[in-house]
Amino acid sequence: MKTWITPYMMHYKGRIGINILFGVLGVASGAMLLFVSGYLISKSALQPQNIMLVYVPIVAVRAFSISQAVFPYLQKLVGHNVVLRILSHYRNKLYDIIEPQALVLKSRFQTGDILGIVAEDIEKLQDFYIRTLFPAVTSVVVYGIIISVFGFFDLPFMVLMLALLGIIVFLVPLFSYFIMKRHHVAIKQKRATLYQHITDALFGQLDWMVSGRKQELFADVETDNDTLLARENNVHRWHHLRDALMRFVSGGIVVLTMIWVDGQVNEGAMSATVIAAFVLMMFSVTDALMPTSDAIEEVPAYVDSLKRMNNLHVPTMNEQDEAVVEHDLSPHPVIHLKNVSYHYDASEDQVIDDMTLTIQPGHKLALLGKSGSGKSTLLKLVSGVLTPNSGHIQLDSTDMNAAYLSKYVSVLNQQPHLFNTTIANNIRIGRADATEDEIISVLDQAQLMDLIQTLPHGIHTQMEEMGKRFSGGERHRIAFARLLIQNTPIILLDEPTTGLDPLTEQNLLETMLGAAKDKTVILVTHHLAGAELMDDIMFVENGRIKLYGSHEQLLETNDYYRTLYQMDSGIHG
């Protein structure tokens, strides 16, 4: 609330105020349309000699009928404008929060799609303003005005209306909030169960068939579904009860207003012409106030979203050194690792354990290891996005840091994201000022131009049009071209061929290593395919170097390596 709602409400209080003003004017116009119509008819029924006596009401009726339509229209526009502005702030803020922890987010939340969920959350908060805040405040203001009007005439009646309209504006919404909070939790949980069962059913479809437990699954889904529907039915039942109560109260309000106005007329405080006016007006006002409950009962859903968004904040972050000094390095720097150790915040285990290594310029190093061996972490350390807990990683004699990314070091991460824009723009994400010729040149080096030339829009083809246009291998090549445009002396490749068939894999590796002939390359890989192309092979286990040497050397001296290589190339194993 304090981080995500209040500051923006304050920042946009002017626009929000205008929105609510328009909302109130809209309700008031509707009420006044009926009030004046009632008055006009009653007045006319007295058959005044001079038609000019009803001239003002006639004009007013027409005016209110127009303003009743105009104000809601304006209110919606102003409202959406404010909300879109606030949404911009949310997006910027969310990005600023997430950007520094981009690499640890998935492990922190143990779910693949935390970003998708949070992005939806901030979209959902738009509804908080449009569907809850604006209507609720409008209702309260309208309530205040009506009460004041009655108070102007008669204090006791004002108190009566204060109570009766209060039921509609405060009491029932409050009840609604607490009851819906309970339902919301229950429904959310039941939906989650059903969701999980359906997901399990589809992903594990064959497992269900093979296990002979298909009927059990169907029964589970049916039970989940039934309990969910029963719960939703409870909500409906509450809505029926709630609406019936409010209707009863509003019927009573109309009758009581009629009696009160009649009393006022008999006392001579009012003219008989306003009886119809007040009665008709109260119809319109109670109708306008009834949706307040609907507005309030959405609140529990927003609270969930806010909680999730607040959880994104990390109280103690591994803050990167902001004032990074960039030294001038030689055009082809040497990479040094000196007693490097690293462990993640949460755990004591050393992911990288006292590692020392030197990689000469132009050297090609293949890095292998089981999952969890530390090879990906090592790559992140060398790229500078992680800083070692002890020891040093240096380019020549300068400590590595993330500022060298895109200048000296470029990285092809495991699942490079291709943005939903043109091929050329995707390459430009690598370097914003790249010319069209440069882009074509790197695409050519990635051996993609033959394909791209056949496309009607060439390098300006959208990545995603009519579904997926490019195959896995082609997408990898585009990502690789984006890295080449940075023209750095050091290239880090994190399993760039995963998921490709062997032929594609082999071709891609050849392309990559061919294009990086003069560069230092560290290739994290899970196969020994292409091992012959590399200068050195290094196996990592438990954060330490397990095996290091050239392909020929290892093949000759190391049984383990020989076994693996023979298996990988299909000879033995």
Residues 196-215 that bind another protein (CB under 8 A): 196, 198-214
Q: Which 427-446 residues touch another protein, going by CB under 8 A?
A: 429-430, 432
Q: Indicate whether 503 belongs to the interface with another protein (CB under 8 A).
A: yes
C-beta of residue 217 within 8 angstroms of C-beta of residue 208 = yes
CB hemisphere CA count around 200 (13 angstroms): 14
The sign of the torsion formed by the CA atoms of 79, 80, 82, 87 equals positive
The sign of the torsion formed by the CA atoms of 554, 556, 558, 560 equals positive
Hey, what long-range contacts does 150-156 have (CB within 8 A, 24 or more apart)? 153/264, 153/269, 153/270, 154/260, 154/264
C-beta of residue 452 within 8 angstroms of C-beta of residue 461 = yes
Q: Which 349-368 residues touch another protein, going by CB under 8 A?
A: 368
Q: Indicate whether 43 belongs to the interface with another protein (CB under 8 A).
A: yes
Q: Indicate whether 321 belongs to the interface with another protein (CB under 8 A).
A: no
Q: Which 86-115 residues touch another protein, going by CB under 8 A?
A: 87-88, 91-92, 95-96, 98-99, 102-103, 110-112, 115
Q: Indicate whether 514 belongs to the interface with another protein (CB under 8 A).
A: no
Q: Binder to another protein among 58, 97, 329, 545 (CB under 8 A)?
A: 58
Q: Which 211-240 residues touch another protein, going by CB under 8 A?
A: 211-214, 217-218, 221-222, 225-226, 229, 232-233, 236, 240
Q: Indicate whether 510 belongs to the interface with another protein (CB under 8 A).
A: yes
Q: How far is the CB of 52 from another protein (least distance, A)?
A: 11
Q: Indicate whether 116 belongs to the interface with another protein (CB under 8 A).
A: yes
Task: Write the DSSP symbol of residue 133.
Answer: I
Residues in the chain, overall count: 573
Q: Which 324-343 residues touch another protein, going by CB under 8 A?
A: none
Strands 398-399 and 390-395: antiparallel
Q: How far is the CB of 433 from another protein (least distance, A)?
A: 12
**Where on the phi/psi map is residue 467: left (φ > 0), alpha (ψ -120 to 50), or beta?**
left
Residue whose CB is less far from another protein, 371 or 454: 371
DSSP assignment of 145-190, as one string? HHHHHHHHH-HHHHHHHHHHHHIIIIIHHHHHHHHHHHHHHHHHHH
For residue 22, what are the contacts with CB-CB under 8 A and spacing of at least 6? 71, 72, 74, 75, 78
Q: Indicate whether 57 belongs to the interface with another protein (CB under 8 A).
A: yes
Residue whose CB is less far from another protein, 60 or 147: 60
Q: What φ, ψ does residue 312 adopt, rounded to 5°?
A: -70, -25
- Please tell me the count of residues contacting another protein according to CB under 8 A: 156
The end-to-end CA distance of the chain, in Å, is 61
Specify the stretch interacting with another protein by CB under 8 A; choose among 49-57, 131-139, 144-152, 327-335. 49-57
Q: How far is the CB of 164 from another protein (least distance, A)?
A: 15
Q: Indicate whether 570 belongs to the interface with another protein (CB under 8 A).
A: yes
Q: Indicate whether 312 belongs to the interface with another protein (CB under 8 A).
A: no
Q: How far is the CB of 383 from another protein (least distance, A)?
A: 7
Q: Which 516-535 residues touch another protein, going by CB under 8 A?
A: 526-528, 530, 532-533
d(CA 133, CA 127): 9
Q: Binder to another protein among 171, 303, 357, 402 (CB under 8 A)?
A: 402
Q: What six digits make up the tokens of 337?
A: 């690792």
Q: Which 128-187 residues touch another protein, going by CB under 8 A?
A: none
Q: Binder to another protein among 461, 506, 550, 558 (CB under 8 A)?
A: 506
Q: What is the dihedral of CA 491, 495, 501, 505, to 10 degrees?
A: 20
Q: Indicate whether 52 belongs to the interface with another protein (CB under 8 A).
A: no
Residue whose CB is less far from another protein, 95 or 178: 95
d(CA 119, CA 112): 13
